[in-house]
Chains A and B, each alone.
Chain A
Amino acid sequence: MEYNLTKKEIRLDRKINELDRFVLDFCRLLDEYVLVSGYVSIIFGRSRATEDVDLLIPKMDIEEFSKRWEKIQNSGFECINTTEINEALAILNEGSNIRFSRKGKSIPNMEFKFIQNDIHKYSFGNKIKVIMKDETLYISSLEMQIAYKLMLGKEGNRKDLEDAKHIYELFKEKLNNEELLKLIRELNSEKEFELIK
């Protein structure tokens, strides 16, 4: 694994598993997106599985969304929540998510959400390119990922604290510590950081 800070690029030579295959096949259908939350830990070796992968995309109008929707439906995926495109867009516009899985399956699924708050905007604006073999994925900034997972850990969700620790331990020599501490302060997660560092 090689993290090039200047290029904001990580090269991974990992063996592809079924979850990676699902994510790579789905993300290939999108122009702009960022993967966030649990999968960002898992792609770098966190020893746990997951049933869903969180993905953020810029807001789009019905015309643009229709093109994307058709492409997804024609590529072996289906929306679990609804078969109606207008309903799917309405769900997204109210700030909720829709889920896509391979046709006839429910797990794994892609939790698909519009970018709507500052945390989302930061994750998208500071995304990192991950190159696996000859395929590419975009993931959230690692500093934000750690801070965000620590914030979720405040609710007592230890899985999130463990995800944060995995990324922190793996990249601590390469992280922008000033930025990490700033984000942790902004997300009121100083106590949780003390637990995992």
Chain B
Amino acid sequence: MNINFEEINREVEKNFKERLNFIKIWAEYVKTHSDEDWSEQQNILINSQFNQ
């Protein structure tokens, strides 16, 4: 198997930066919307972990 680790590392770094960018956007959403609004979205993710 011919694996280009440099390319994979670049992808990983790029993905991490994108994730940080999403966290910034989501934190802004949390700041500018009601607790009820953002928590309803977050709860879908969290409750799904316990309802399997």
Q: Which residues on A are within 8 Å of B, measured CB to CB? A: 1, 12-15, 17-19, 42, 44-49, 51, 107-108, 158, 161-162, 165-166, 169-170, 195-196
Interface residues of B in 1-52 (CB under 8 A from A): 16, 19-20, 23-24, 26-28, 30-31, 34-36, 38-43, 45-51
A-B contact count (CB 8 A): 75
Q: Which 7 A-B pairs have the closest CB atoms?
A: A169-B27, A14-B39, A13-B35, A17-B43, A49-B49, A45-B30, A14-B35
CA of A195 to CA of B20 in the docked complex: distance in angstroms?
9
Q: Given the complex, which residues of A lie within 8 Å of B27, measured CB to CB? A: 45, 165-166, 169-170
How far, in whole Å, are A17 and B16 apart by their CA atoms in the complex?
Answer: 28
> Assuming A17-B39, A18-B50, is B30 touching A170 (CB within 8 A)?
yes
B45 to A: closest C-beta gap in Å? 6
Contact call B45/A48, Cβ cutoff below 8 A: yes
Assembled-state Cα–Cα distance A8/B45 (Å): 29
Q: Which residues of B contact A (CB under 8 A)?
A: 16, 19-20, 23-24, 26-28, 30-31, 34-36, 38-43, 45-51
Query: How near does chain A come to B8, taking the closest CB pair, in angstroms?
Result: 15
| A contact residues around B16 at 8 Å (CB) | 158
Min CB distance B46 to A, Å, is 5
Most buried by A among B35, B43, B45: B35
Query: Which residues from chain B contact A48 at a C-beta distance below 8 Å?
Result: 45
